Amino acid sequence: MEIKIAEDVYWVGAIDWDVRTFHGYTYTTHRGTTYNAYLVLDEKVALVDTVNVGFGQEMLKRIGKLSDPTQIDYLVANHGEMDHSGAIPEVMKTAPQAKLVCSKKGEQTLRQYFGDQGWDITVVGTGDEIKLGQKTLRFIEAPMLHWPDSMFTYIPQVALLLPNDAFGQHLATSQRFADEVDECLVLGEAAKYYANILWPFSSLVIKKIKEIERMGLEIATIAPSHGLTWRNPRQIIEAYLRWAQGGAEPRVVVVYETMWGSTRHIAHALVEGIQQEGVEVSLYALPTSDRSDVIADLLEARGILVGSSVHNNDMLLNMAAFLEDLKGLKPIGKIGAAFGSYGWGSRAIPHMEEKLRQAGVELVEADLSSQFAPDEDELEHYIEFGQDFARKVKER
Ligand code: FEO
């Protein structure tokens, strides 16, 4: 069945129902994903983006139901990462006369991934256009959303924005439009995607949205390269602006890793104190909790507390990985603190505090450490700190 995105624009991508991790093992895709490619039919035929390695034949088969794949005139590569460029060699073998269109950095990416294949490459920048006949492909560079090579393709005649990774979700479904599935599901997956991929580039997200607004482009549809198409573009644009500006709720995320249970006792006392102040809190133990889900939950929470017991005089390894990830993601507008138990001495808490600081989290100073196991007085101290922290979260 053909899937029309706009007049003479069709989805010809692939659904990956099976994938459960992405970007190595940094991101869990519990619901799979899609690799979206779009075929634009006009006097000239353009394919915008391709699919991951292993899905090229599925895409070419979809194209074949609409048009002769050997007659593709333009192949636009909005982004060179392999989940979108993986099938470029198959397309170029099928339609060797096609011009491959990409940004300057995109050309570098593709040449380094695929070597010199003799492809006819056209480099484009913001404002450049390719006329297909009735329709035009207009390009907007979008560096660091999320790679230096990233760009958007816009088709003014149908008010369609094809922004590649931006506004995407890792979500495999039988549906192709966001308004056809549960709103919480699609926005939840979009939030997870933003938190784990685009969070570090929030200032650029705001700048790009403002730039596009200044251009006065009419946008009726946003069709990203993963997941579902937005027929109500304001829904995802407003969500992106809120996330990029650090919009958050009075909510706390507590994450900990424990060796013999003492750090768990501290975590539970903190949670008790936070609850007593009527503030919503989520508690996650590592490594049994999924790191990318915890990051997603943190997106709209104002407070974060991290705890670890001690291994080799430092924090446990899953907490180290979590904080390293957080440092790279640069969450916006959070307050936080570190806690934990220790045996004979530890650099775990100062190191966790340092990582939080490097992530941009504003630290609330407090002694939140116990030797071996917290006694009753210490547990009372943690409950009181939880209350105090919750009040700070409410006041922000
Ligand atoms: Fe940056 Fe979906 O690849």
Q: For 63-74, how does the pLDDT look when each residue is reduced to its tens digit (9 = 90+)?
A: 999 999 999 999
Q: Give the pLDDT band of residue 388 (cuts 50, 70, 90).
A: very high
Please tell me what DSSP assigns to residue 45: -
Q: From the candidates 23, 25, 180, 218, give the one annotated as an active-site residue.
A: 23
Can you give the three-state secondary structure of 52-81, one letter per residue?
CCCCHHHHHHHHHCCCCHHHCCEEECCCCC
- Measured from the Cβ of residue 265, the count of other Cβ atoms closer than 10 Å reads 17
Q: Give the pLDDT band of residue 198 (cuts 50, 70, 90).
A: very high
pLDDT of residue 88: 98
CB of 376 closer than 8 Å to CB of 286: no
Whether the per-residue pLDDT at 227 is higher than 90: the answer is: yes
- Catalytic annotation on 193? yes
Which residues have C-beta atoms less than 6 Å from ligand 1?
A: 79, 81, 83-84, 146-147, 165, 225-226
C-alpha R_g of the chain: 24
Distance CA 60, CA 67 (A): 10
Ligand 1: centre distance to CA 154 (Å): 18
Ligand 1: centre distance to CA 97 (Å): 26
**CA dist 393 → 156, 264, 298, 358, 381 (Å):** 44, 22, 13, 20, 18
Q: Which of 288, 293, 352 is nearest to 324 (CA)?
A: 352
Diameter over CA atoms, the chain: 78
pLDDT of residue 234: 97
- Catalytic annotation on 120? no
Q: Is the peptide bond before 311 cis (omega within 30 degrees of 0)?
A: no
Distance CA 110, CA 95 (A): 17
Task: Please give the full DSSP string across 169-194, using - where no structure is assigned.
Answer: -----S--BGGGS-HHHHHHHHHHHI
Tokens representing 259?
């060796």
Kindly give the number of the ligand 1 atom that is closest to the alpha carbon of 147. Answer: 1
Ligand 1: centre distance to CA 165 (Å): 5
CATH 3.40.50.360 residue spans of the chain: 249-395
Mean per-residue pLDDT of the chain:
97
242-282 confidence digits (pLDDT tens): 999 999 999 999 999 999 999 999 999 999 999 999 999 99
Distance CA 395, CA 390 (A): 9
Distance CA 9, CA 50 (A): 15
CATH class as words, domain 249-395: alpha beta
Distance CA 229, CA 243 (A): 19
First-to-last C-alpha distance (Å) of the chain: 51
- Catalytic annotation on 265? no
CATH 3.60.15.10 residue spans of the chain: 3-244
Q: Which of 118, 121, 123, 47 is nearest to 87 (CA)?
A: 47
Please tell me what DSSP assigns to residue 23: T
Residue carrying the six token digits 């590592």? 286
Q: Which of 44, 9, 48, 17 is nearest to 33 (CA)?
A: 17
CATH number of 3-244: 3.60.15.10
| pTM confidence score | 0.96
pLDDT of residue 299: 98
Closest C-alpha residue for ligand 1 atom 1: 81
CA torsion sign for 130, 125, 11, 53 is: positive
Tokens representing 158?
């149908």
Contacts of 304 (CB under 8 A, 6+ apart): 252, 253, 254, 255, 298, 331, 334, 335, 336, 356, 361
pLDDT of residue 131: 98
pLDDT of residue 396: 85
23-59 confidence digits (pLDDT tens): 988 899 999 999 999 999 999 999 999 999 999 999 9
**Amino acid found at 9:** V
- Catalytic annotation on 38? no
Q: Give the pLDDT band of residue 1 (cuts 50, 70, 90).
A: confident
- Catalytic annotation on 226? yes
pLDDT of residue 346: 82
Whether the per-residue pLDDT at 101 is higher than 90: the answer is: yes
Ligand 1: centre distance to CA 293 (Å): 19
- Catalytic annotation on 79? yes
121-152 confidence digits (pLDDT tens): 999 999 999 999 999 999 999 999 999 999 99
CB of 63 closer than 8 Å to CB of 38: no
Q: Average the pLDDT over 289-310 and give the result.
A: 98
Distance of CA 1 to the CA centre of its chain: 30
CA torsion sign for 161, 166, 169, 172 is: positive
- What percent of the chain has pLDDT above 90? 98
Contacts of 365 (CB under 8 A, 6+ apart): 337
- Catalytic annotation on 170? no
Q: From the candidates 10, 16, 84, 226, give the one annotated as an active-site residue.
A: 226
Q: From the candidates 74, 90, 146, 351, give the one annotated as an active-site residue.
A: 146
CB of 74 closer than 8 Å to CB of 131: no
Distance CA 379, CA 341 (A): 12
Q: Average the pLDDT over 338-345 and give the result.
A: 94
Ligand 1: centre distance to CA 25 (Å): 14
